[in-house]
Amino acid sequence: MLDIKITAASSKKEKPSDNVLGFGRYFTDHMFVMDYTIGEGWHDARIVPYGPIALDPSAMVFHYAQELFEGLKAYRCADGHIQLFRPDKNIERMNNTCRRMCVPEIPMEDALQAIKTLVEYEKDWVPHSEGTSLYIRPFIIATEPQLGVHPSKTYKFIIILSPVGSYYAGGLNPVKIMIERKYVRCVKGGTGEAKVGGNYAASLLGQKEAEEKGYAQVLWLDGIERKYIDEVGAMNVFFVIDGKVITPSLADGNILPGVTRRSCIELLKKWGYTVEERKLSIDEVIEAHKNGKLTESFGTGTAAVISPVGEYNDDGFVMTINNGEIGPISQKLYDELTAMQWGKTEDDMGWIVRVD
């Protein structure tokens, strides 16, 4: 058990109304902070007023990007109580990322206690309207003040909370995706399966160029053969071909193992669908589209849950999917996952963790 000291903010912010929330623009009154020093381990767990943190300009995170993060949500149910969706999977993944980034791990129970305690302390910030939630962003940064390239000896683990709006205020609208032939997100042996800021920094230029052409995100192909599908933007990606649901396998370590991805696979199998986790080439997808066998495609992630793809553009060659409309499997997954997350249906998978 962590001994979490609480320092209350002297004044509370005015809470934004649910209809202006957007994503990650407002933050709650408090944050969780814990420090790591060699010899002492993780120590000084505390909840303090939300605000700027002082770091030495030579802190290693600023120079060599030794940093990692997680993302999950707290949901308010109809009866007012607050719950999390599979937080253990996020913490497990955070610790896998820690190992890849030479960052000391945080015991599962401690990380879960930190998240639950902070969310409960800030529970008035969990919004009430349909589709809204409290986004939870745990992250770890290297703080040692020196410029030699090696793992830092000191770290900060911080959790901040942000009330977020409904992703689909205007309905579940399919997005347009550009197939990325110029840039890559990661290579085998790299940090593709780790949730780190560096991956995002490297993805910005491709994303920006796609946006300039009117596309929401890019479809990343593998960094070696430029042939196999990895992910779409910051989401995992699924294709329905000939009635089978296919998603790229995690085996090569290129792909972020999404909690939503895993949950979709488990639900689809429970419902009796054939699910294949395997290498999937972009040529196979294009071929399936030509033969009329590609009936749906969707991205999965905590922010959007399910994001149907209405169109892929490959250097000017446009593939429209399901007439640019959401397909039945995407809709069914969206309905089931959101019903579980907001407590509208029985949790027969053991995925829900109550906060209060």
Ligand X SMILES: *Cc1c(COP(=O)(O)O)cnc(C)c1O
> Which positions touch ligand X (CB under 6 A)?
71, 195, 231, 234-236, 256, 258-261, 300-302
Q: CB of 69: closest distance to ligand X in angstroms? A: 8
- Give the list of residues 6+ apart from residue 311 with CB closer than 8 angstroms, or none: 174, 176, 177, 318, 319, 320, 321, 324
Q: CB of 67: closest distance to ligand X in angstroms? A: 13
User: 259 φ, ψ to 5°?
Assistant: -70, -35
Q: CB of 107: closest distance to ligand X in angstroms? A: 20
DSSP string, 117-134: HHHHHTGGGS--STT-EE
- Is the Cβ of residue 91 or residue 106 nearer to ligand X in the bound state? 91
Nearest residue to ligand X, by Cβ distance, number only: 258
Q: CB of 72: closest distance to ligand X in angstroms? A: 7
Length of the chain: 356
- Is the Cβ of residue 301 or residue 308 nearer to ligand X in the bound state? 301
- Is the Cβ of residue 258 or residue 310 nearer to ligand X in the bound state? 258
Q: CB of 236: closest distance to ligand X in angstroms? A: 5
Which two tokens mark 303?
């922010």
Q: How far apart are alpha carbons 328 and 127 in whole angstroms?
A: 29
Q: How far apart are alpha carbons 330 and 84 in whole angstroms?
A: 22
Q: How far is CA 41 from the centre of its chain?
A: 27
- Is the Cβ of residue 92 or residue 325 nearer to ligand X in the bound state? 92
- Is the Cβ of residue 194 or residue 294 nearer to ligand X in the bound state? 194
Q: How far apart are alpha carbons 57 and 217 in whole angstroms?
A: 33
